Chain A
Amino acid sequence: MNSPKAAKAGIADMPPPIAEGGIRFLLGGDRFVLVEVGEGMELSLNIKVIQLAKRIMDEKIEGVIETLPMFVSVLIHYDSLALSPTRLRSVVEAVWNEMAHEVDMTLSSRLIELPVYYRDPLTRECVEQYNRQIAPMEDNPTYVARINELGGPEELVRRHSSTQHWVAGIGFYAGTPELLPLDPRVTLTVPKYNPPRLYTVAGAIGVGGGFTSIYPVDSPGGYYIIGRTPTPIYSLDTRLVPFRGKATLLEPGDRIKFRPISPEENEFIEAQVKAGTYRYLIWDYELFSFSRYSDWLAGLDHSADQI
């Protein structure tokens, strides 16, 4: 049976699955298209997506307003009165094909160090509040360690801070990153709160699914929380260098290194942030080579005692 309405609007029955190396171009009203490059959540596809989003902007095509890379798709915001969707499609395909012919993929990727007070009292208070008001809830780092068969919360902290995390996309809320560990051996698998938490302190480090995220502002949330960074990732305080002309710290394709800090250092950094004198550690000259990363991955020792 064919839907008359769908047929009238010129809708094909079912798009074919994405062929190896191909893309799918999906309409979203007259100002947006979603370009999908794959079905799964592979890091290699995400790296291509971030590259594609950036190159479409670099082309400076009249009518392209902005791009949003996230996991395996790029959302393109455009002005269809200046650029027809057909023309946009051919531009995107041309950029994609050009990328396919490149032997290596090297992209600029900043390395950002974020100090983290793991197992801190503020996130613990969020959990205890949930425990009192909503449902029984175990100490989160202890629970996450247990269901991932780790020795305990200390091992969780050691693993979580041992790898760089890749910023696979940003959004939902201002500056909220979706982070993947670049070392697959320390991936955590964690369910989400059900029902969600009503309050999470800004700066909390959450783990859910296979991801890590950071809460930019006080907000509800569903990820298990294992620590907190005293350094804002979203701010309107222009005394802090990253927030001049920008309200968010992170960009897709950045890498984050979490550095465990003591309660004393946490207090020290909080005071610096409050005074507007904190200096973020950002290495913005770094490049990320996908082929060298792949080689590194292939040579990894997966026996548990290597971490």
Chain B
Amino acid sequence: MNDGTMSNSIRVLEPGLQTCIQDYPGRIGYWRVGIPLSGPMDAVAFKLANLLVGNPASAAALEVQFVGVKLEFLGDAVIALTGGDWQPLLDDEPIPLWETVSVRSGQILACPWARTGARLYIAIAGGFEAEAILGSRSAFPSGFGGAGPLKADDLLGFGAGAAAIDCRVKAAARPTYPDEWSVEVTVGPHFDWLDRNGQETLLDGPWKITGRSDRTGMRLKGPQLTFSSRALDKDPQHGPDPTNVVSAGYPLGAVNLCGDTPIILPADAPTMGGFINPVVVVSASLWKIGQARPGQTLRFKLIGIEEAIELRRKFEELTSQASIETVAARSEERDASRDGGTRDA
């Protein structure tokens, strides 16, 4: 997004579908004036990509959605790709995800499309350069101004490369991307606005993810919900629909009931509104909303707050250096066990 020539830059040949720069955790401190957090839709893959290339987990990286990008490197770089099955190519040669990859100046990275998962992250040693707005390099949601999604011919600068050690994410730490998702939730502010049957139905679904899903909301289609007297016999100030309530702040990850349509509220969602939030996706499971695809199904699993906090603790552990191993260490182990066999790394 800079112009002129830079030794450390990347030219965008194909921009993909709303590919944008994000950092972690995003833009904090402006919820009360209507500015959402933003940041990566899948914080697990995002943080691990940064850690692989020796960046802080918070550094600016690229989020690619569904349809991939083609990038030309105008300088040497160390990158890491994380996400589902994207079958990325570097100068037409397949390269792995979840590992560091060295790129030479002039090489072209192509990430055609997601066979599994929805979002791919591309981290680069030194991090992407982007103007920080209100303390964050995350792209502003569309319509808010600022640097939006990538366009063809954009030049993306990146910082001076850090460590070039070959690393990979440990096998046990790599998430899987199923066709049917079980998403952990706690009760939200308005769980009791559904009757018993409505509560069970909301949790069990199954909910089909519709195509009208993006960084501002994931819209679901499924069974009819039923409401309690709290929704049906309320003060008229709340509004005419059972799902209307006097406007209040929306938690990130809330399952927002807007008439018959549940909408999960992810990174760029509205900060408040006049519809009820019966359950809320726990923070450690929000990455699933970033990787679930339209046409797939999901169900909610109700857990208690203590368990949700415990999952958060595990999420922090999973998205730390503890999940990264150097390739050399693994090769040496293998060499030892093979009693001096050839190294293939």
Contacts and interface: CB of A to CB of B under 8 A. Distances in A.
Interface in A81-101: 81, 84-85
A66 B29 contact: yes
A236 B134 CA distance: 10
B276 to A, nearest CB: 11
A70 interface: yes
B309 A10 contact: no
Contacts of B34: 170-176, 216, 248
B302 A5 contact: yes
Contact of A173 (B270, B277, B305): B270
B187 A75 contact: no
Contacts of A69: 32
B247 A32 contact: no
B60 interface: no
A176 to B, nearest CB: 6
Classify the secondary structure of B's interface with A: mixed
A29 B280 contact: yes
A80 interface: yes
A26 interface: yes
A2 B196 CA distance: 7
Interface stretch (B151-159, B174-182, B248-256): B248-256
Contacts of A75: 31, 248-251, 272
Interface stretch (B49-57, B81-89, B142-150, B323-331): B142-150
A14 B230 contact: yes
A223 to B, nearest CB: 13
B235 A29 contact: no
B33 A77 contact: no
A29 B186 contact: yes
Given A172-B271, A172-B272, A174-B144, A28 B189 contact: yes
A159 interface: no
A41 interface: yes
B237 A40 contact: yes
A39 B309 contact: no
Interface range on chain A: under 10, 10 to 19, 20 to 34, or 35 or more?
35 or more
A9 B145 contact: no
Contacts of A145: none
Interface in A1-53: 1-3, 5-6, 8-11, 13-15, 26-32, 34, 36, 39-41, 53
A65 interface: yes
B200 A28 contact: no
B43 interface: no
Contacts of A85: 305
Contacts, number: 191
A171 B249 contact: yes
B254 A28 contact: yes
B32 A66 contact: yes
B190 to A, nearest CB: 8
Among B237, B251, B280, B283, residue most surrounded by chain A Cβ atoms (within 10 Å): B251
A237 B224 CA distance: 46
Contacts of B28: 65-66
Nearest to B254: A28
A30 B272 contact: no
Nearest to B27: A247
Interface string A185-226: 000000000000000000000000000000011110000000
B118 to A, nearest CB: 21
29 contacts: A3-B196, A3-B200, A6-B196, A26-B188, A27-B186, A27-B188, A28-B251, A28-B254, A30-B186, A32-B280, A34-B248, A34-B249, A34-B251, A40-B246, A66-B31, A68-B271, A70-B249, A80-B305, A80-B309, A170-B33, A171-B32, A171-B272, A171-B273, A174-B33, A178-B247, A218-B143, A234-B144, A236-B146, A248-B30
Interface of B: 28-35, 133-134, 143-146, 185-189, 191-192, 196, 199-200, 203, 228, 230, 235, 237, 246-254, 270-273, 277, 280-284, 302-305, 308-309, 311-313, 316
